[in-house]
Amino acid sequence: MASVLPLNDRCRALRALHEDGVLVLPNAWDAASAVLVAALGARAVATTSGGLAWSLGRADGQALTREETAAAVARIAAVVDVPVTADIEGGYGPAPEDVAATVAAVAAAGAAGINLEDSRAPGGPLFTPAEQAERLRAARTAAVEAGVPDLVVNARTDVVLFGIGEPETRLDAVRERASVYAEAGADCLFVPGLLDLEALSALAAEVPLPVNAMAVPGGPDVAALRAAGVRRVSTGTALAQAAYGTVRRATAEILAKGTYTECEGALDFGELNARFTLGSGD
């Protein structure tokens, strides 16, 4: 069920989850995946732009519209009683005003936090630190104007993910951006692509923001990331990929063999359906 707390109280609750330990966010892409994530004990629900884009017949990479993302956030916020943080990609436009409009839209939809990228397009280039700072300030101002001054702003930098600059300069670039972004009103620093535990440990000790890492199959587990000082762990598109992998395997088996073993272990129809017909997300 949707949270009964006022939205800014949900923002404060999400903010508090960054103060101690590690916040683990298995990313959802629709209402059903969000309900399951919350039911299993996730303390917040994060959206994934990739999963959402695929479900709408698009490629990931800032191909969604502001309206589509806000609508998805609204559907998710309506069925869970934990804070929802929205992946708004690059803000759906380059200007600070574009970011402000997007923040207003997702706040109206029930988002308690956002994830904002500093890349202009998949693979780069990136906004300069000063340009991104203006965009972050616009996000914070829009949050205040929307009545959610405590909206959690997770500033994502794609320096490492997109291999911007020479390898030996990238961590310094991340440190510089972290300092600028913190001053501009960001609450967390997200560095997808960085999974070297020694580098993460150094970064977590040096930057003024809690560090968010994106976990990937074969990478460090949550315990190792926590030990390195990471305070927030996202799974990105991993759950959506796993779900679609099941669709592909099960379909291939049914068409080739006429059997259904890949569907074994599927969630019971009645259990899943009841979460909506009974209006419960717990």
pLDDT at position 3, please? 77
Q: Who's near 88: CB < 8 A, 6+ residues apart?
A: 66, 69, 99, 102, 103, 106, 114, 115, 116
For residue 278, the model assigns a pLDDT of 53
What's the pTM value of the predicted model, to 2 decimals? Answer: 0.95
Taking residues 106-114, report their average pLDDT: 98
Give the neighbor-by-neighbor strand order of the sheet with 84-87: 23-25, 232-234, 211-214, 188-190, 152-156, 113-117, 84-87, 45-46
Of residues 23, 30, 116, the one with CA closest to residue 80: 30
pLDDT tier at 11, thresholds 50, 70, 90:
very high
Structural domain boundaries, residue 69: 7-237
Residue 2 in domain: no
Residues of 179-199 as b/e, b for ≥16 C-beta within 10 angstroms?
bbbbebbbbbbbbbbbbebeb
**pLDDT grade for 32, boundaries at 50, 70 and 90:** very high
Evaluate whether residue 26 is within a structural domain.
Answer: yes
pLDDT tens sequence across 138-161: 999 999 999 999 999 999 999 999
Residue 268 domain flag? no
| pLDDT recorded at residue 282 | 43
Nearest to 239 by CA among 76, 55, 48, 42: 48
- The percent of residues above 70 in pLDDT, for the chain, comes to 97
Residue 214 lies in a domain: yes
Residue 173 included in any domain:
yes
Q: Confidence band (pLDDT; 50, 70, 90) for 133?
A: very high
CATH for 129 = 3.20.20.60
Residue range 197-206: average pLDDT?
97
Does residue 267 have a pLDDT over 70? yes
Asked, for residue 256, whether it belongs to a domain, the answer is no
The reply to whether 95 falls in a domain is: yes
Q: How many structural domains does the chain have?
A: 1
| Secondary structure in 3-state letters for the chain | CCCCCCHHHHHHHHHHCCCCCCEEECCECCHHHHHHHHHCCCCCEEECHHHHHHHCCCCCCCCCCHHHHHHHHHHHHCCCCCCEEEECCCCCCCCHHHHHHHHHHHHHHCCCEEEEECECCCCCCECCHHHHHHHHHHHHHHHHHCCCCCCEEEEECCCCCCCCCCHHHHHHHHHHHHHHHHHCCCCEEECCCCCCHHHHHHHHHHCCCCEEEECCCCCCCHHHHHHCCCCEEECCCHHHHHHHHHHHHHHHHHHHHCCCHHHCCCCCHHHHHHHHHCCCCC
Mean pLDDT, residues 84-112 taken together? 98
- Give me the pLDDT at residue 2, please: 74
Is the pLDDT confidence value at 240 over 60? Answer: yes
- Which residues are 87's β-sheet partners? 115
pLDDT at 280: 45
Q: Is residue 199 part of a domain?
A: yes
Task: Report the chain's mean pLDDT, rounded to a whole number.
Answer: 96
pLDDT category at 1 given cuts 50, 70, 90 is: low
